[in-house]
Amino acid sequence: MKKVRSLVLTGLGINCEEEMAAAYRLTGAEAQIVHLNEVFKGGISIHDFDILNFPGGFSFGDDLGSAKVLANKFKYKQMASGGTFLDELRKFLDNGKYILGVCNGFQALVKMGLLPNISGKFEQEVTLTYNDSGRFEDRWITCKTNENSKTPFVKGIDLIDLPVRHGEGKLLIKDQAIKEDIIKHALNCFSYTDKDGNITKEYPFNPNGSELNCAALTDKSGQILGMMPHPEAFLSMYNHPNWGKLKRENPLLAEEGMGLRIFKNIVEYVLGG
């Protein structure tokens, strides 16, 4: 029986790799944590894996803007093959494989041009910048799935509670044409909502002031998901700050956390389920 293989990158300030690897292992998939330098030096090939993961953290201390240094490293790093790491990512996607980036990982994906990649040229079209509040936001929020989203990562999800932990999570879109394409193709797959599940710009439900109230983006293929909230931080119901009340109100509530659904979705999809 096929075993889904997931590669979780770490190093250079990434610090959520253990939780992300745990998420895949809970789905029955394999998860290997590898320092970025091992990939850059050719000791590990991303092409031996089905899913590539860019976890959260504070890469390069967020100097020059969150994940900008890391994104440039990904985009221009020369590999032993003679091409760049971005060339390897293109090949990885051309082979029908999947990429997940969370928080700092999401910031890296947008700044190296993988998301939303409307033009197909891997040029930066959006950015993630300072929250409207002007401070680091660390709390639980609720997101609603765009019902027209085609990415397998969000299949079967309506509302999802997840924690945010970021200082630069505000999505800004380069121009109106790109914004219209994002809407047209339902690439804004998660939106921040209020406590009743209504999409909102209101703080603190929307923790950063993102355009389109966007908490997550995909590309047109649906192979790449980038999101600011942390699904790997909600693998058990007991991670939720209000789990006691939720359990009392619904004693049959599943003990797995909502965040695990995202990982289960992609693993099941890769397996053909």
For the annotated catalytic residues, the residue numbers are 103, 230, 232
State yes or no: pLDDT of 185 exceeds 80. Answer: yes
Compute the C-alpha angle 97/100/103, nearest 5°.
Answer: 165
Per-residue pLDDT, 63: 73
State yes or no: pLDDT of 35 exceeds 90. Answer: yes
For the segment 166-191, the average pLDDT, to the nearest whole number, is 98
DSSP 132-190: TTSS-EEEEEEEEE-TT---GGGTT-SEEEEEEEES--EEEES-HHHHHHHHHTT---E
State yes or no: pLDDT of 233 exceeds 80. Answer: yes
SS3 call for 14: strand
The least confident of 53-67, 185-199, 218-232 is 53-67
pLDDT digits (tens, 9 = 90+) for 113-167: 999 999 999 999 999 999 999 999 999 999 999 999 999 999 999 999 999 999 9
pTM, rounded to two decimals:
0.96
Per-residue pLDDT, 273: 65
**Measured between alpha carbons, how far is 12 from 15 in angstroms, rounded to an integer?**
9
What is the band of 65 on the pLDDT scale with cuts at 50, 70, 90?
A: confident
Q: Which residues contact 209 (CB under 8 A, 6 or more apart)?
A: 131, 132, 133, 170, 201, 203
pLDDT digits (tens, 9 = 90+) for 205-229: 999 999 999 999 999 999 999 999 9
Compute the C-alpha angle 196/199/200, nearest 5°.
Answer: 100
Amino acid at 240: H
Q: From residue 80, how far is each of 9, 48, 74, 83 by CA, in Å?
A: 18, 16, 14, 7
Delineate the domains of the chain, giving CATH numbers in brackets. Answer: 5-270 (3.40.50.880)
